Amino acid sequence: MHFASDNSGPVHPEVLAVLAEANEGYQMAYGADTLMDEVRDRIRDIFEAPEAAVYLVATGTAANALALATLSQPWETIFCAPMAHIQEDECNAPEFYSGAKLTLVPGGDKMAPEALRQAIENEETRGVHGPQRGPVSITQVTERGSVYSLQELRALCAVAKEFDLPVHLDGARFTNALVALNCSPAEMTWKAGVDVVSFGGTKNGLMGVEAVILFDAQKALEFELRRKRGAHLFSKHRYLSAQMAAYLRDDLWLRSARQANDNCARLADGLRAAGASFAHEPQANMIFANLPRKQHRRLHDAGVAYHLWGSNLEGSDEDELLTCRLVCDWSIKPEEIDRFLALL
Amino acid sequence: MHFASDNSGPVHPEVLAVLAEANEGYQMAYGADTLMDEVRDRIRDIFEAPEAAVYLVATGTAANALALATLSQPWETIFCAPMAHIQEDECNAPEFYSGAKLTLVPGGDKMAPEALRQAIENEETRGVHGPQRGPVSITQVTERGSVYSLQELRALCAVAKEFDLPVHLDGARFTNALVALNCSPAEMTWKAGVDVVSFGGTKNGLMGVEAVILFDAQKALEFELRRKRGAHLFSKHRYLSAQMAAYLRDDLWLRSARQANDNCARLADGLRAAGASFAHEPQANMIFANLPRKQHRRLHDAGVAYHLWGSNLEGSDEDELLTCRLVCDWSIKPEEIDRFLALL
Amino acid sequence: MHFASDNSGPVHPEVLAVLAEANEGYQMAYGADTLMDEVRDRIRDIFEAPEAAVYLVATGTAANALALATLSQPWETIFCAPMAHIQEDECNAPEFYSGAKLTLVPGGDKMAPEALRQAIENEETRGVHGPQRGPVSITQVTERGSVYSLQELRALCAVAKEFDLPVHLDGARFTNALVALNCSPAEMTWKAGVDVVSFGGTKNGLMGVEAVILFDAQKALEFELRRKRGAHLFSKHRYLSAQMAAYLRDDLWLRSARQANDNCARLADGLRAAGASFAHEPQANMIFANLPRKQHRRLHDAGVAYHLWGSNLEGSDEDELLTCRLVCDWSIKPEEIDRFLALL
Amino acid sequence: MHFASDNSGPVHPEVLAVLAEANEGYQMAYGADTLMDEVRDRIRDIFEAPEAAVYLVATGTAANALALATLSQPWETIFCAPMAHIQEDECNAPEFYSGAKLTLVPGGDKMAPEALRQAIENEETRGVHGPQRGPVSITQVTERGSVYSLQELRALCAVAKEFDLPVHLDGARFTNALVALNCSPAEMTWKAGVDVVSFGGTKNGLMGVEAVILFDAQKALEFELRRKRGAHLFSKHRYLSAQMAAYLRDDLWLRSARQANDNCARLADGLRAAGASFAHEPQANMIFANLPRKQHRRLHDAGVAYHLWGSNLEGSDEDELLTCRLVCDWSIKPEEIDRFLALL
């Protein structure tokens, strides 16, 4: 029973199958492979964006850092939530690639439009002395498992546009959000005002592929050069393409995300029934549940893997509520969830 | 018939097999997978370096840039050959990661010890005004298919050590050189004086994995932080480990390189027999052959893929000698080579 | 009547005199001038630090950015107050020079030891994923005119030392604080636990010179190389030395700071007598006073120069309290202050 | 007798006078001083460039590094001569500021148009793998004391323009060249095809001021932000303005350069008469003369200061010719030159 991370699960077998299929003969290196043509076309189709520039990289941090570097200047500041992945989990990669700094918009895991406006207004009040206003980066699904509604996304983008700032969407769990919102990719991105999206695949069943989609292709060459300079251009690129091709064929991306979200809902329902409360309402494939220490102990002893969040098992108060993070991916079996719930 | 690049060939089936095998159940992310333990142990064994720090990244440019950044300071200069990959083919990645600049040691594809000493002596002659002396980077196999002998490697490293400079070996085609020299990995690296090696796998049958081996582990944590900050730490790291594990099991790395070198020798012999001369003596898996334009035309029309080097097919002089680069990988069939030779 | 900034006042005549005196004959360039020897000796004396490395640069931002870069690594984060000059007024220079990011310690203009400890503890909780803990930067005098007591400085440094982190003191108004505390430079720096200090001169009557003092000289050469690489090494360095020499001769630095602080106290007393309240208690040479709009209008119309802080003169409520910043430097005449007060 | 460097001489008294004059009362900080208005107008006039953006910095390296960063992208390469100051004497500052690398155009101290074209053509031959073509940087006067004729400048710029590359002129000794060529500033810059010029003052009698002139003001704000981010924006900016104002009033810049060039010509004539040969024909204020060791010894013993170039006094062959660099500035007295020549 493994709920530690959607980075820990296996690759979907359909992905392995396309990798094997792609392993025939010779292919042009560095992104000139024929599978990349399929991927590009498919993503443009899916996003209703026939002019979009589409690139593949192997890590989410690379997708974010390269996207933000392309959208910003080294004397700017990037607006994001205090618990954004780019702030907390990328070891200065966005700053390394962009030269820009990050301004944390006060609030919880979601940015609120008014807080964003305030944060933007607070910058560029001192001429060249302070950093200049740069892109807004929104994490969808947030790091706490929340999903921005379309209305919320539109409102954030509208604030950015008031100040002529570009918007980046960190979609490491893009499809989990999409499935939760039951909307179209276009609605969740450019129709809402997003300029560039990190369209994640790794957490949703791929080995390691994320697409970066620039709806305005004007900076496409800049992105390509930044990717190469960052050492993120793959020579045997066809194996990135193959993963993404498999992902988009037969709706694997949607099926996997639905499965993950369904697993998560089943788990949340069971937790709720067992009396657990939630630090954040589960909306996609992540749960932050509060459970008494004794239950954590029981789960831990039974070999269930997950992270305690800001606390640990040590401590004598058996009834103290400790928050844990439980993440579901496509591969979890309903029986495992039932076994987990039985342990409660 | 594809001789354009060893980046264009397929992945070895044994690698796919281990990838599939690795795809069972859950694994710790970010390099804490059990296959990485196997890889680390195996590499330490193979290199007779029980204390070495071993890391995996997905591109050769990442391996080189991260290794050089770890060995240098941003006010230093890195010594390399004018046609080194880090100079010509990495779009400023080494400079981006290290902050250092490159000093080109005059000469051909191989650095000569005396030229290296001269280049080093020319730096640090003006106090803080010029860059300070930094690491020496040696490409083995060189970009023109030459192999440094052990004696040559030792002589270069000895020069670096005279000035207390660390040595990096760009081993994108490490195993092709090893097989050509018929020596041990230790002899070709730390016993000769190499401090850090980019131990390539991609060009020799993997999807995209290179190991960086730091024989002195003192800067191991720095390397890890640089890797993460560069966005080169894989979440589903087990799939990098699996490739490298497959590579090292049952001597696949050696078998593949031998096959590539053998293919290359067969091709070179045929070319020689057909009257071709060589711009560089073929020593590993690359050939730079001089052929008259009319022969290039014939090969081209027959669909043989390879790069003309600094020239093109246009031109009226049918007998003009044009240099072409032919690269062999493990996957080429002897029949293909024979077909190629028959076309001559 | 000019209270807008201690950057707007003239250079002290004694400084001009030494500049003229330094203008005789030839001098070695780039810091090898004889006046620099005097400056180095004098600073070591004054700071009771015979081994300290001492360097001059021309801007406070250069002093801070170079000092912090020398103390940090690009994968670290620097701890400072949210209104620190390095955060708000240096347009990403500290990040540019160091590669590190900034972590804002919640609180007011002064960092509290407990808040600092909490901020430090919040970092390095996620292995290589988050930034690593880096130097602590303390601004003395703060950007709101407060002065850390020796006890407060020691407490902050003690927290940093618990975590083995170096401490930087941004002393753009070093001497104003020193005079306010009536302590020795050693007490306010290394005896309290400070490792590197930006010892400001510009705001206190120089043209443009700040010393960077590294109490541990181990990184002296690194600093020199960073200074040159940052383009902050002056060829005609003697004119920097001359300014600093003048500053330290005959206690000009102390006299000027005392004069500025006295001016400020006189102004504060008058404001208090006129019924003004203070957003921050004036402790050195800066006042943040709350005055009704109508008084600001009167002062403004009379040509008094100062900054309104986060508000402006527009508005109809004549009694609304608006905060203004008033800064005094050595050159202000008591009569000007009296004229100002008469306007109230 | 001091011929070591035009960085070692004193500041012109007229400059000190304007500094003293500028030291009255209060002035807006950070470049908003009234003297800067005078400077901007005057430079636009002198360069016949009413739309040019004009900025002041304190070091030549800052001027070059900021100018080149503004003209380039971090994935580009800057073309320059192998002995350019930006290559040899700026400790990676241009790379630090721009992120770009340098491509050395083979040849002597002057770039030849054909060599430049060849160097440009050699880049961008490998798509995104190599660096992209970036600005061309020309040093006028060169580091060996040569002056590009207007025709030569035009030819170099024409090559750059063929490839749509911007041109930077490193004019640390701008006025010495101008006086030597007896042309107008416009002819030597934008009329020849130069886009941005580092217009040096320090080596020609100022304390430390260089102007950066962007003939196309489109990137003016970018330059300002880069200057601040690089910590090169002076708070008490009026003292930079005052220097430059003094420089341009009453033709001080031209008078000083003429005096330096005249001193140099007098010295060169004397050397020639004494039988010395020249490694480079003296054209401005620098001489590279070949003298036998015994003469160097005599000069050295008499206390004449200058640099031996790539050799030293040690050695037994008294007749061996050693090259020395002799630099003249405005302040050298004819009597000193005569004393020097008498020693020969």
Chain C residues in contact with D198 by the CB 8 A cut-off are: none
| Contact of D207 with D15, CB cutoff 8 Å | yes
Chain A CB contacts of D132 below 8 Å: 225
Look at residue D309 and tell me whether its pLDDT is greater than 90: no
Position with higher pLDDT, B312 vs A65 = A65
- Residues in CB range of C8: below 8 A, 6 or more apart: C2, C305, C329, D26, D27, D28, D29
Q: Tally Cβ neighbours within 10 Å of residue C125.
A: 10
Question: Order of strands across the sheet with B277-280?
Answer: B277-280, B286-292, B321-327, B307-308
pLDDT at C1 over 80: no
pLDDT tens column, D137-167: 999 999 999 999 999 999 999 999 999 999 9
Q: Measure CB to CB from residue A224 to each of D128, D225, D229 and give the nearest one.
A: D128
Give the Cβ contact number of residue C67 at 10 Å: 33
Q: What are the Cα distances from residue C13, in Å, to B178, C246, D22?
A: 73, 10, 12
Which among D91, D212, D240 is the top mutation candidate for probing chain C, defined by the most C β-carbons within 10 Å of its own β-carbon?
A: D91
pLDDT tens track for A155-199: 999 999 999 999 999 999 999 999 999 999 999 999 999 999 999
Residue-averaged pLDDT of chain A:
96
Instruction: Calculate the average pLDDT of chain B.
Output: 96
CB contacts of A73 in chain D (<8 Å) are 222, 225
Task: Give the pLDDT band (50/70/90) at residue B250.
Answer: very high
DSSP state of A305: B
Model confidence at B47, in pLDDT bands (50, 70, 90)? very high
Q: Which residues contact C123 (CB under 8 A, 6 or more apart)?
A: C77, C103, C130, C131, C132, C133
**Above 90 in pLDDT, residue D38?**
yes
Q: Which of C128, C224, C229 sits opposite B228 (nearest CB)?
A: C128
Q: Do B95 and D99 touch (CB under 8 A)?
A: yes
Please state, in angstroms and rounded to a whole number, the distance separating the CA atoms of residues A138 and A169.
Answer: 5
CA distance D221 to chain A (A): 9
In order of A258, B48, B175, the CA distances from B184 in angstroms are 52, 9, 10
**Which residues in chain D have their CB less than 8 angstroms from residue A74's CB?**
229
Closest Cβ–Cβ partner in B75, B89, B90 for D92: B75
> Per-residue confidence at B310, pLDDT binned at 50, 70, 90?
confident
Which helix (H) or strand (E) segment holds residue B290: the answer is strand B286-292
pLDDT-based confidence at residue C193 (cuts at 50, 70, 90): very high
Chain D CB contacts of B92 below 8 Å: 74-75, 77, 99-101, 131
**Full-prediction pTM beyond 0.90?**
yes
Measured between beta carbons, which residues in chain A are less than 8 angstroms from residue C77? 92
Q: Do residues A256 and A176 lie in contact, with contact meaning Cβ atoms separated by under 8 Å?
A: no
pLDDT at position A144: 96
pLDDT value of position D313: 85
Q: State how far residue B130 is from chain A, nearest Cα, in angstroms.
A: 25
Structure tokens at B63: 């391996």
- What pLDDT is attached to residue C115? 98
Q: Do A229 and B96 touch (CB under 8 A)?
A: yes
Q: Are the beta carbons of A129 and D225 separated by less than 8 Å?
A: no
pLDDT digits (tens, 9 = 90+) for D93-108: 999 999 999 999 999 9
- Residues C214-243: tens digit of each pLDDT: 999 999 999 999 999 999 999 999 999 999
Per-residue burial over D234-264, b if 16 or more Cβ lie within 10 Å, else e, is bbbbbbbbbbbbbbbeeebbbbbbbbbbbbb
pLDDT at A47: 98
Averaged pLDDT, B25-43: 96
pLDDT value of residue A309: 87
Contact A5 B90 (CB under 8 A): no
Give the mutation candidate from D66, D95, D228 for the A interface (greatest A CB count, under 10 A). D228
CB pairs under 8 A between B and C: 34
What is the rounded average pLDDT of the residues B35-57? 98
Q: Do C202 and D91 touch (CB under 8 A)?
A: no
Point out the residue among D75, D91, D131 whose CB comes nearest to the CB of B131.
D91
Average pLDDT rounded to a whole number, residues D221-245 = 98
Mutate to test the interface with C, among B219, B224, B228, B234 (most CBs of C within 10 A): B228
**Nearest Cβ partner for B130 among D74, D88, D104:** D88
Q: Check residue D315 and give its pLDDT.
A: 86
Residues of chain C positioned with their CB less than 8 A from the CB of A95:
95, 99, 101
Give the least confident one: A63-67, A227-231, D315-319.
Answer: D315-319
Closest in C25, C28, C207 to D10, CB measured: C25
Q: What is the pLDDT of residue D182?
A: 98
Give chain C positions within 8 Å (CB) of A85: none
D65-100 burial, b at 16+ Cβ within 10 Å, e below that, comes to bbbbbbbbbbbbbbbbbebbbbbbbbbbbbbbbbbb
User: Quick one: what percent of chain A has pLDDT higher than 90?
Assistant: 96
Q: Tell if the CB–CB gap between A92 and C102 is shorter than 8 Å.
A: no
The average pLDDT across B68-73 equals 98
pLDDT, tens digit, for every residue of C126-163?
999 999 999 999 999 999 999 999 999 999 999 999 99
Q: Which DSSP state fits C278?
A: E
Average pLDDT over residues B138-155: 98
Q: What is the pLDDT of residue B92?
A: 98
Are the C-beta atoms of B285 and B329 separated by less than 8 Å? yes
Residue D310 has pLDDT above 90, yes or no: no
D28 contact residues in C (CB cutoff 8 A): 8
Q: What is the pLDDT of residues A90-122, one digit of tens each?
A: 999 999 999 999 999 999 999 999 999 999 999
Residue B133 Cα, gap to closest chain A Cα (Å): 23
pLDDT at C311: 80
Interface test with B, best of D101, D128, D311 (most B CBs within 10 A): D101
Confidence of residue A315 (pLDDT cuts 50, 70, 90): confident
Q: Which residues of B touch C226 (CB under 8 A)?
A: 75
Is the pLDDT at D344 greater than 90? The verdict is no
Residue from A73, A225, A237 to probe the interface with D (highest D Cβ count within 10 Å): A225
CB B325 within 8 A of CB B294: no
Average of per-residue pLDDT across D111-121: 98
What is the per-residue pLDDT for B286? 96
- ipTM of the modeled complex: 0.97
State which amino acid sits at residue A340. F
Answer whether A132 sits within 8 Å of D74, measured CB to CB: no
DSSP run (H or E) holding C307: strand C307-308
The answer to whether residues C317 and C330 touch, using CB atoms and an 8 Å cutoff, is no
Whether the predicted pLDDT of A14 surpasses 90: yes
In our burial notation (b when 16+ CB lie closer than 10 A, e otherwise), range B183-211 reads bebebbbbbbbbbbbbbbbbbbbbbbbbb
